[in-house]
Amino acid sequence: MFKHLYQTSQFAENFACQENYKPAFKITGLLHDLGKYQSAFQDYLINGGRRGSVPHASWGAGYARIHKLLEASIAIDGHHKGLPDNAAWKSDTNPYMHNEIPAFKDVVLSFLDDVGVSEVDINTSGGINFSELSQREIFVRYLFSALTDSDWLSTEEHFEAEKSAMRVGCALPVDEMIIELEEEFSRKSTEGEINRLRNAARSEVVSKALLPLGFYSLALPTGMGKTLTSLAWALRHAKQNGLKRIIIVLPYINIIDQTAQTLKGIFGDEIVLEHHSSYNEGKKDGDDEKEALLQLQKRQQLSCENWDYPLIVTTTVQFFESLFSNRPSKCRKNHNISESLVIFDEVQSLPKEVILPTLQMLKDIQVVMKSSFLFCTATQPAFEKRPKFDGITAICPLIKEPDILYDKTRRVEYHLLDNLAPIEYGRLSAVVLGCDASTLVIFNTKKASLEFYTFMGTFGNWESKYHLSTSMCPSHRKNVIKKIRDDLSAKKKILVVSTQLIEAGVDFDFPVLFRAMAPLEAVIQSAGRCNREGKLAVYGKVFLFKLQNGGMPDKTYAACAGFAEELIKTDINQLYKHDVFERYYSQVIDLYVDPDKYAINDSRRKFNFATVNDSYRIIQKATEGLFICNFNEDSRQLLHSLRYKEFLGRNDYRKMQAYTVQVYEKFIFQHADLIETMPQGFRVWHGKYDQATGISVAPMEADNYVV
- Residue 673's pLDDT is 93
Q: Higher confidence at residue 53 or residue 522?
A: 522
Are residue 573 and residue 646 in the same domain, yes or no?
A: no
Q: Is 167 helix (H, G, I), strand (E, B) or coil?
A: coil
Query: Residue 283 — very low, low, confident or very high, per pLDDT cuts 50/70/90?
Result: very low
Are residue 188 and residue 262 in the same domain, yes or no?
A: yes
> Taking a C-beta distance cutoff of 8 angstroms, is the pair 523, 503 a contact?
no
Are residue 422 and residue 322 in the same domain, yes or no?
A: no
- Residue 698's pLDDT is 58
- Residue 45's pLDDT is 66
Are residue 486 and residue 569 in the same domain, yes or no?
A: yes
| Of the listed ranges 247-251, 359-363, 390-394, 530-534, the one predicted with least confidence | 530-534
- Residue 282's pLDDT is 35
Q: Is residue 296 part of a domain?
A: no
> Taking a C-beta distance cutoff of 8 angstroms, is the pair 392, 383 a contact?
yes
DSSP classification of residue 129: -
Q: Is residue 603 part of a domain?
A: no
Are residue 53 and residue 121 in the same domain, yes or no?
A: yes
> Taking a C-beta distance cutoff of 8 angstroms, is the pair 86, 608 a contact?
yes
Are residue 231 and residue 92 in the same domain, yes or no?
A: no
Query: Residue 700 — very low, low, confident or very high, per pLDDT cuts 50/70/90?
Result: very low
Give CA–CA dist 363/356, Å, rounded: 10
Are residue 638 and residue 562 in the same domain, yes or no?
A: no
pLDDT digits (tens, 9 = 90+) for 541-599: 999 999 998 889 889 999 999 999 999 999 999 999 988 999 999 999 999 999 999 99
| Ramachandran bin of 620, using left for φ above 0, alpha for ψ from -120 to 50, beta for the remaining angles | alpha
Q: Is residue 604 part of a domain?
A: no
> Taking a C-beta distance cutoff of 8 angstroms, is the pair 509, 532 a contact?
yes
Give CA–CA dist 338/341, Å, rounded: 9
* Per-range mean pLDDT, top range of 159-168, 290-299, 672-681: 672-681
Are residue 396 and residue 437 in the same domain, yes or no?
A: no
- Residue 165's pLDDT is 85
| Of the listed ranges 219-228, 458-467, 631-640, the one predicted with least confidence | 219-228
pLDDT digits (tens, 9 = 90+) for 187-197: 988 888 888 99
Among 116, 143, 165, residue at a domain's last position: 165
How far is CA 603 from its chain centroid?
Answer: 22
The residues, ordered by sequence, that sit 6+ positions from 450 with a Cβ below 8 Å of its Cβ are 467, 469, 471, 693, 699, 702
The residues, ordered by sequence, that sit 6+ positions from 169 with a Cβ below 8 Å of its Cβ are 308
- Per-residue pLDDT, averaged over 72-84, amounts to 96
* Model confidence at 442: pLDDT above 90: yes
- Residue 278's pLDDT is 45
> Taking a C-beta distance cutoff of 8 angstroms, is the pair 423, 547 a contact?
yes
DSSP classification of residue 354: G
Phi, psi of 74 (to 5 degrees): -65, -45
> Taking a C-beta distance cutoff of 8 angstroms, is the pair 76, 28 a contact?
yes
Query: Residue 284 — very low, low, confident or very high, per pLDDT cuts 50/70/90?
Result: very low
Closest Cα to residue 216, out of 349, 337, 384, 405? 384
Q: Is residue 297 part of a domain?
A: no
Q: Is residue 218 part of a domain?
A: yes
Among 577, 609, 633, residue at a domain's last position: 577
Burial class (CB in 10 A: 0-12, 13-18, 19+), 430: exposed
Query: Residue 49 — very low, low, confident or very high, per pLDDT cuts 50/70/90?
Result: low
* Model confidence at 303: pLDDT above 80: yes
Q: What is the CA radius of gyration of the chain?
A: 27
Question: What percentage of the chain carries pLDDT values higher than 90?
Answer: 68
- Residue 54's pLDDT is 66
Q: Is residue 352 part of a domain?
A: no
| Of the listed ranges 44-58, 252-266, 350-364, the one predicted with least confidence | 44-58
Q: State the total domains in the chain.
A: 4
173-182 own/partner pairs: CB under 8 Å, 24+ apart: 173/271, 173/310, 174/235, 174/236, 174/238, 174/239, 175/239, 177/235, 177/267, 177/271, 177/311, 178/232, 178/235, 178/236, 178/239, 180/266, 180/267, 181/228, 181/231, 181/232, 181/235, 181/266, 181/267
- Residue 432's pLDDT is 97
Q: Higher confidence at residue 35 or residue 608?
A: 608
593-598 own/partner pairs: CB under 8 Å, 24+ apart: 593/352, 593/353, 593/556, 593/560, 594/353, 595/352, 595/353, 595/354, 595/355, 595/356, 595/389, 596/353, 596/354, 596/356, 596/357, 597/353, 597/354, 598/353, 598/354, 598/357
- Residue 293's pLDDT is 61
pLDDT digits (tens, 9 = 90+) for 207-252: 999 999 999 999 988 778 889 999 999 999 999 999 999 999 998 7
- Residue 285's pLDDT is 36
Phi, psi of 540 (to 5 degrees): -70, 155
Are residue 15 and residue 104 in the same domain, yes or no?
A: yes
* Model confidence at 609: pLDDT above 90: yes
Q: Residue 705 belongs to what H/E stretch?
A: helix 699-705
Q: Is residue 70 part of a domain?
A: yes
Are residue 63 and residue 33 in the same domain, yes or no?
A: yes
Phi, psi of 233 (to 5 degrees): -70, -45
Residue 183 lies in domain = 174-276+307-346+362-402
Q: Is residue 660 part of a domain?
A: yes
Q: Is 676 helix (H, G, I), strand (E, B) or coil?
A: strand
- Per-residue pLDDT, averaged over 643-651, amounts to 85
Are residue 502 and residue 628 in the same domain, yes or no?
A: no
Which CATH number does the domain housing residue 540 bear? Answer: 3.40.50.300
| Ramachandran bin of 253, using left for φ above 0, alpha for ψ from -120 to 50, beta for the remaining angles | alpha
Among 577, 597, 612, residue at a domain's last position: 577
Are residue 553 and residue 477 in the same domain, yes or no?
A: yes
Give CA–CA dist 273/245, Å, rounded: 11
